[in-house]
Chains A and B, each alone.
Chain A
Amino acid sequence: MEEISALMHGFSVALSPFNLMLMLIGVVLGVIIGVLPGLGGANGVAILLPLTFAMPPTSGIIMLSCIYWGALFGGAITSILFNIPGEPWSVATTFDGYPLAQKGRAGAALTAAFTSSFIGALVAVVMITFLSPLIARFALQFGTPEFFSVYLLTFCAFVGMSKGKAMKTVAAMMIGFALAAVGLDTVTGQLRLTFGFTELLQGFDFLIAVIGLFGIGEILQTLEEGLAFKGVSAKLNMSVVMETWRELPRYWMTSIRSSLVGCFMGIVPGGATPASFMSYGIAKRFSNNGEAFGSGQIEGVVAPETAAHAAGTSALLPMLTLGVPGSPTAAVLLGGLLIWGLQPGPLLFVEQKDFVWGLIASMYLGNIAGLLVVLTMVPLFAAILRIPFAIIAPVILVICAIGAYTVHNSMLDVYLMVFFGIMGYVFKKLDYPLAPLVLALVLGDRAEASFRQAMLVSQGELGVFFSNGLVGSLTALALTLLFWPMLAAAWAGMRAGTLR
Chain B
Amino acid sequence: MRTLSRAVTLVVSLMLMPSGVSAQSWEPTKTVEFIVPAGTGGGADQMARFIDGLIKKHKLMKQPMVVVNKAGGAGAEGFLDVKGAKADPHKIVITLSNLFTTPLATGIPFNWKDLTPVSMMALDQFVLWVNAESPYKSAKDYIEAVKKAGPNKFKMGGTGSRQEDQIITVAIEKQMGVKFTYIPFKGGGEVATQLVGKHLESTVNNPIEAVAQWRAGQLRPLCVFDDERMPYKEKVTANMSWADIPPCKQAGVDVDYLMLRGIFMAGGVTEAQRNYYVDLMGKVRALPEWKEFMEKGAFNQTALKGDDYRDWVRKEEARHIQLMKEAGFLK
Residue numbers of A with Cβ under 8 A of B are 42, 46-47, 49-50, 53-54, 139-144, 183-191, 198, 201-203, 318, 322-325, 328, 331-332, 334-336, 338-339, 341, 343-347, 408-410, 449, 453, 456-457, 459
Contacts and interface: CB of A to CB of B under 8 A. Distances in A.
Interface of B: 33, 39-41, 45-46, 49-50, 52-53, 56-57, 66-68, 70-74, 76-77, 80-81, 105-109, 152, 155, 160-163, 181-186, 189-190, 192-194, 196-197, 199, 211-213, 215-216, 218, 292, 296, 329
A203 B199 contact: no
Contacts of B218: 346
Contact of A184 (B50, B73, B181, B292): B73
Contacts of A324: 189-190, 192-193
A335 B49 contact: yes
B80 A198 contact: yes
Given A346-B218, A408-B77, A49 B49 contact: yes
Contacts of A410: 81
Secondary structure call for the B interface? mixed
Nearest to A459: B152
Contact of B161 (A46, A141, A183, A188): A188
25 contacts: A46-B40, A47-B66, A53-B56, A139-B193, A184-B72, A189-B105, A198-B76, A198-B108, A201-B73, A201-B77, A202-B73, A202-B77, A324-B189, A325-B41, A331-B41, A332-B41, A334-B189, A335-B40, A335-B45, A335-B50, A343-B212, A343-B215, A343-B296, A345-B213, A346-B212
A43 B56 CA distance: 18
Contacts of A203: 72
Given A344-B212, A345-B212, A202 B72 contact: yes
Nearest to B58: A53
Given A143-B199, A184-B76, A453 B185 contact: yes
Nearest to B48: A335
Given A189-B74, A331-B41, 4 more contacts: A144-B199, A186-B161, A332-B49, A410-B81
Contacts of B109: 198
Contacts of A449: 186
A323 B186 contact: no
Given A323-B212, A325-B41, A191 B184 contact: no
B50 A346 contact: no
A140 to B, nearest CB: 4
B6 to A, nearest CB: 44
Contacts of B194: 143-144
A338 B296 CA distance: 10
B166 to A, nearest CB: 8
